[in-house]
């Protein structure tokens, strides 16, 4: 089993009225099993980049908001509800998210990334597909570390929202409760 | 299709469909003037299919 699931990022400047989104806009690079799944072709700029320009805040909120479904819920036939909680593209908000999904069997995650199909007219085309098993421990550690960095960024930029911090605390509390974890 | 969340009477999000059948998401950008910022929804957003499905049901 591969343990590699990594999220690297660099903060960027962005002009948007939403404060949390403005200060957490970032170049985000996600690596799964050694494959940089965020490597993309920017059709307008005619460049290939390893990272996608996305909202780290929106991504952190989605990952925590769907935490238990992502780490515990297997795929029982595709449904809209399942996809909204397991496919990164459900974050929306005007960003072109990689077509990345997480499918748990309770002890490991099958992480699947679909490259942008050649027929797509998207101006940003993700180049690498992957289907890799990642340990839950590695996934959880990476996500919590990423969330902590986003929370730190919000604090350092004096952004007053506490939603992410509250979600983080709830999950830590639930993880320490064996009954919650067994769900 | 509009969201339940509202600011100053305006829905926080609206999801129209263009005349050629492409779903669009728009977020309320200025609640005083009711100005929205819209963008096309990619196929990789599972909610885009729900928008199209809802429209089909309304038109039936």
SS (H, E, C) A46-58: CEEECCEEEEHHH
Domain extents in chain A? 5-182
Question: What is the reported pLDDT for A117?
Answer: 94
Domain extents in chain B? 6-59
Residues A33 and A130 sit within 8 Å (Cβ to Cβ): yes
Contact at CB, B44 and A97, closer than 8 angstroms: yes
pLDDT digits 0-9 by tens, A86-98: 999 999 999 999 9
Q: pTM for the complete prediction?
A: 0.91
pLDDT > 90 in chain B, percent: 73
Task: Using an 8 Å CB-CB cutoff, list chain A residues near B54.
Answer: none
Contact at CB, A90 and B47, closer than 8 angstroms: yes
Question: What is the reported pLDDT for A5?
Answer: 95
Q: Which of B29, B44, B53 to mutate to test the interface with A (most CBs of A within 10 A)?
A: B44
Residue B60 pLDDT > 90: no
Task: DSSP letter for B22, please.
Answer: -
Task: Using an 8 Å CB-CB cutoff, list chain A residues near B42.
Answer: 89, 96-97, 122
pLDDT digits 0-9 by tens, A4-38: 999 999 999 888 878 999 999 999 999 999 999 99
Question: What is the reported pLDDT for A2?
Answer: 54
- The span from the first CA to the last CA of chain A, in angstroms, equals 24
Contact at CB, A89 and B39, closer than 8 angstroms: no
Which tokens hold the place of A7?
Answer: 């999220």
Residues A91 and A15 sit within 8 Å (Cβ to Cβ): no
Collapsing DSSP to helix, strand or coil, B8 comes out as: coil
Question: What is the reported pLDDT for A15?
Answer: 84
């Amino acid at each position: 089993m591969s343990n590699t699931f990594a999220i690297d990022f660099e903060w960027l400047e962005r002009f948007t009225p939403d404060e949390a989104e403005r200060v957490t806009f970032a170049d985000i690079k996600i690596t799964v099993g050694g494959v940089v799944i965020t490597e993309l072709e920017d059709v307008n700029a005619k460049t290939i980049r390893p990272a996608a320009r996305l909202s780290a805040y929106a991504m952190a909120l989605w990952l925590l908001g769907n935490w238990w479904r992502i780490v515990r819920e297997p795929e029982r036939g595709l449904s809209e509800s399942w996809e909204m909680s397991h496919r990164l593209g459900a974050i929306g908000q005007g960003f072109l998210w990689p077509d990345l999904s997480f499918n748990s069997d309770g002890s490991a995650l099958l992480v699947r990334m679909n490259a942008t199909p050649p027929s797509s007219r998207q101006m940003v085309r993700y180049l690498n597909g992957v289907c890799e098993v990642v340990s839950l421990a590695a996934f959880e550690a990476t996500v919590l570390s990423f969330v902590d960095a986003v929370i730190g960024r919000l604090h350092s930029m004096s952004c007053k929202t506490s939603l992410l911090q509250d979600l983080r605390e709830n999950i830590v509390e639930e993880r320490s409760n064996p009954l919650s974890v067994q769900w | 299709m509009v969201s339940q969340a509202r600011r100053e009477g305006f829905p926080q999000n609206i999801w129209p469909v263009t005349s050629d059948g492409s779903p669009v998401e728009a977020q309320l950008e200025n609640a005083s003037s009711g100005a929205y910022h819209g963008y096309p929804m990619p196929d990789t957003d599972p909610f885009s299919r729900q928008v199209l499905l809802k429209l089909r049901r309304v038109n039936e």
